[in-house]
Amino acid sequence: MNGLNGTPVTDDFANGGVSFWYRQIGVPRRRAALPGSRDYDVAIVGGGYTGMWTAYYLKKAQPDLRIAILEKEFAGFGASGRNGGWLSAEFAGSRRRHAAARGRQAMIDLQHAMFAAVDEVIEVTRAEGIDADIHKGGLLHVATNPAQNRRLHAELADLRTWGFAEEDMRLLTREEREERIRTAGTLSAAYSPHCARIQPAKLAVGLARAVTDLGVDVFEGTTVTEIRPRDAGAVGEAGRAAAVTDQGTVTAEYVIRATEGFTASIRGQRRQWLPMNSSMIVTEPLGEEVWERIGLKDYELLGDEAHAYCYAQRTADGRIAIGGRGVPYRFGSRTDVRGATQPQTVAALYKIMTTLLPATAGARIQHSWCGVLGVPRDWCSTVHLDHATGLGWAGGYVGSGVTTTNLAGRTLRDLVLRRDTELTRLPWVGRQVRQWEPEPLRWMGVQAIYALFRAADRHENAQMGRTSAYARVANLISGR
């Protein structure tokens, strides 16, 4: 057995490269790059879930649309092939902020659209024959210190005022809790049925196959450097929006930006969405006796209530995959180097796992990796299409994009096709969000926020009954 900063790892332990999810199924063979300049009806920049769901629903609605996806690496390379596999109804952003802009009912509608989106993804994967290890066993949030316990109760009380019924999320009784999960020091747990476990890369690869089968052109190894609006008064090429790539320029009626955490690399977008890093580790398969001690019999997804929270899943082959923030942000909005995570982050995640689930003590880690997600200045996701410029986008999902990307894809379909629907009236559509501060303020701000969150967690673990003042300051700085 090898060790990594005191963390037990398997002999074939790997850090980065791709995520464990691709190690399981193999990295897909690359599709061809864009063969020179072309014209399409819709050009989509980025082949993650957002780009692929948008192409999928557009092509289903109007099969004669000419659609291209322009992807720098391969479809599913980004967060879509690296995430924790929570297909959950959680939505990034403040309910109050959305309600203030469009009214309370609009926010409740958005939440219900998220509940429905979980089932929509399950339904489409079934219809398209995509086997992504999907199992809808619900979601557990556990509180392991008095401050977390208080927050969890307050959150549940608040949810009731936003249209969440008992059956959407509720506190478990002690017996119910112990039946589902045997975490250490758990004071309370909330359960929501609106969540399914997925194998993220299987979903990405399946979606890429589904859209190509529908006739979408997916160009890989094609980097977009600039996105240009159309000149509304002009005819010919200038009257079309454009995506400039290293292989040629794609002109189109609409260009949709679906680059999430990588958005800063496109000209003029540096301060749009902050690239935030999230890291994961996965254990070797755990024995049945270990699972008996842990629970999660129904493959419930598991998260805690810490400020620097963790998210975990029981994989189809009996491992724990668990993630959290490592080094959250790199100066100048740079992204990670090929998905490798720092040894100290691996050790920190291992400690979180073994503290929360003592039955995993001694389990060896087989793979660690990281990925990047997009954070808007107000931490609320957006979807937008401007018919005048021909430009659209969706993203800023923070850590809740697996399901939201599906809602984004259907919403962009309706916006492109100029349909006025329930989806296009949801409060996240068409929001304008201010940019992040220039460096070094941006870097200093994020460092301060996460240092404060870590300090708040330490304080709260020392049995403080209330949310730490450090966390309140961090929330104030972050602008959440």
Residues that bind ligand FAD (CB under 6 A): 45-51, 70-73, 77-80, 82-86, 88, 223-224, 258-262, 265-266, 278, 280, 311, 323, 371-373, 395, 397, 399-403, 405
Identify which of residues 90 and 109 has a Cβ nearer to ligand FAD in the complex.
90
Tokens of 301: 């997804």
Q: What's the min distance (Å) between Cβ of 158 and ligand FAD?
A: 21
Q: What's the min distance (Å) between Cβ of 260 and ligand FAD?
A: 3
Identify which of residues 190 and 198 has a Cβ nearer to ligand FAD in the complex.
198
CB 240 within 8 A of CB 227: no
* H/E run at residue 357: none
Q: Which residues of 435-470 are buried (b: 16+ CB within 10 A; e: fewer)?
A: ebeeeeebbebbeebbebbbbbbebbbeebeebbeb
Q: Tell me the three state secondary structure of residue 178.
A: helix
Identify which of residues 413 and 459 has a Cβ nearer to ligand FAD in the complex.
413
Identify which of residues 159 and 266 has a Cβ nearer to ligand FAD in the complex.
266
Q: What's the min distance (Å) between Cβ of 368 and ligand FAD?
A: 11
CB 36: neighbour CB atoms within 10 A?
10
Q: What's the min distance (Å) between Cβ of 372 and ligand FAD?
A: 6
**Helices and strands counted in the chain (H then E):** 12, 20
Identify which of residues 79 and 189 has a Cβ nearer to ligand FAD in the complex.
79
CB 332 within 8 A of CB 438: no
Tokens of 242: 């454009």
Q: What's the min distance (Å) between Cβ of 145 and ligand FAD?
A: 23
* DSSP output for 234-253: --GGGGSEEEEEBTEEEEEE
CB 115: neighbour CB atoms within 10 A?
17
3-state SS record for 67-78:
EEEECCCCCCCC
Q: What's the min distance (Å) between Cβ of 302 and ligand FAD?
A: 11
Amino acid in the structure at residue 336: D
Identify which of residues 272 and 467 has a Cβ nearer to ligand FAD in the complex.
272
Q: How far apart are CA 371 and CA 341, in angstroms?
A: 9
Identify which of residues 345 and 467 has a Cβ nearer to ligand FAD in the complex.
345
Identify which of residues 46 and 376 has a Cβ nearer to ligand FAD in the complex.
46
Identify which of residues 147 and 426 has a Cβ nearer to ligand FAD in the complex.
426
Q: What's the min distance (Å) between Cβ of 198 and ligand FAD?
A: 8
Q: What's the min distance (Å) between Cβ of 413 and ligand FAD?
A: 15
Residue at shortest CB range from ligand FAD: 401
Q: Which residues contact 5 (CB under 8 A, 6 or more apart)?
A: 343, 344, 346, 347
Q: What's the min distance (Å) between Cβ of 83 and ligand FAD?
A: 3
| Residue 261, CA distances (Å) to 117, 284, 452 in order | 22, 29, 23
Identify which of residues 147 and 356 has a Cβ nearer to ligand FAD in the complex.
356
Identify which of residues 23 and 153 has a Cβ nearer to ligand FAD in the complex.
23
Task: Using CB atoms within 10 Å of the CB of residue 167, give its burial: 0 to 12 exposed, 13 to 18 middle, 19+ buried.
Answer: exposed
Q: How far apart are CA 234 and CA 421, in angstroms?
A: 30
- Residue 175 has what DSSP assignment? H
| Residue 304, CA distances (Å) to 81, 184, 187, 434, 457 in order | 23, 11, 11, 30, 11
Q: What's the min distance (Å) between Cβ of 146 and ligand FAD?
A: 27
Q: Tell me the three state secondary structure of residue 356.
A: helix
Q: What's the min distance (Å) between Cβ of 414 and ligand FAD?
A: 18
Q: How far apart are CA 77 and CA 421, in angstroms?
A: 32
CB 30 within 8 A of CB 37: no
